[in-house]
Structure 1
């Protein structure tokens, strides 16, 4: 008995190539708008993270009261309150939140880069290990540069990441849509 995959095949989306190109163009425009005002894009990013944390906190709180008989309910409530507080802080003081997020991002990049370097060194005899090493070095150095520029760069760095991501996703969808058209 064959199980049919729920993943759409290329032939199923080929006729929708124009939608991919249109979405790609929209994301590309949004990326350029974000790049035009990095401070604004940083604030939007902080508000987005804050909104997600408030929603997460509300879900945690609802969950905490669903497990009333559980002796650790207080820990779920405290976790929910921390999420809610962090989300509210993003709206009350977006500048402080941007600084904290930028600092966390810098350290995450440093740790991630060092981990990738370690993985590359462990795979040194295998082909392509140099690419892993180069990627790890670039990631760790980016984190170090962000850390050195902190907290001044917190006003624009998150916005730059948003602008870059929007533009890259836009280009990727345009390319994918045009490739579908040719196929």
Structure 2
């Protein structure tokens, strides 16, 4: 059974009729990825501004939420959490270079931690087919984290820019392929 068998017939037909929009979106996202790859500093700045914006929006939502639950006895904690998010988002705009360095360090730590977890999961799954691949993937992730950490903070602008550029390029290619796949299915 394919996904198209599980979708309501109208939904699939509507998606097929919009295949060109998926291709256009893919071309636009791919172009943004190429621009980000051409200037990694722009990519890093865009990443920081997106993160800062999301933090401010989330903080404002948490502050409003705090006033909605003040009878629960946790008003202060929700309010404090929202205020801290807004302040952190503001700092992303006020000092994007520092934010880039902090995000890059967090990325390195996250990669190392998730890689070590994968290695552990792989070894605890010893005896199952493919456990070695899990260990290998974990080791590669740990090494990627270590490479980022060893070059920190001087590599901060490049790393975030590369991550954004690669993500946008692959998303663009995916949308283009999906759109042409819908066209072919039509």
Common fold: TM-score over 0.5 = yes
- Which deviates more, 46-55 or 129-138? 129-138
**CA deviation profile, 1:63-95 (whole Å, cap 9, x unmatched):** 111122222211111111110110000010000
Cα separation, partners in 2 of 1:49 and 1:15, compared to 1, 3 Å? same
2-structure distance, mates of 1:89, 1:6: 46
Partner SS state of residue 72, structure 2:
coil
**What residue ranges of structure 2 are gaps of 5+ in the alignment?**
1-5
**CA deviation profile, 1:141-173 (whole Å, cap 9, x unmatched):** 111110001000112211111111000111112
Cα separation, partners in 2 of 1:25 and 1:140, compared to 1, 3 Å? same
- Which of 49, 56, 71 matches 1:47? 49
Match for residue 3 of structure 2?
A: none
1-structure distance, mates of 2:34, 2:137: 26
Matched positions, count: 180
Match for residue 25 of structure 2?
A: 23
- Which of 13, 16, 25 matches 1:14? 16
Match for residue 138 of structure 1?
A: 140
Q: Cα RMSD between the aligned structures?
A: 2.0
Match for residue 90 of structure 2?
A: 88
Partner SS state of residue 56, structure 1:
helix
Cα separation, partners in 2 of 1:130 and 1:89, compared to 1, 3 Å? same
1-structure distance, mates of 2:178, 2:130: 26
**What residue ranges of structure 1 are gaps of 5+ in the alignment?**
none
1-structure distance, mates of 2:154, 2:139: 24
1:177 Cα deviation after fit? 2.0
- Which deviates more, 125-134 or 163-172? 125-134
State TM-score, norm by structure 2. 0.89
Match for residue 152 of structure 1?
A: 154
Match for residue 110 of structure 1?
A: 112
Match for residue 68 of structure 1?
A: 70
- Which of 38, 46, 50 matches 1:36? 38
1:11 Cα deviation after fit? 5.1
State TM-score, norm by structure 1. 0.90
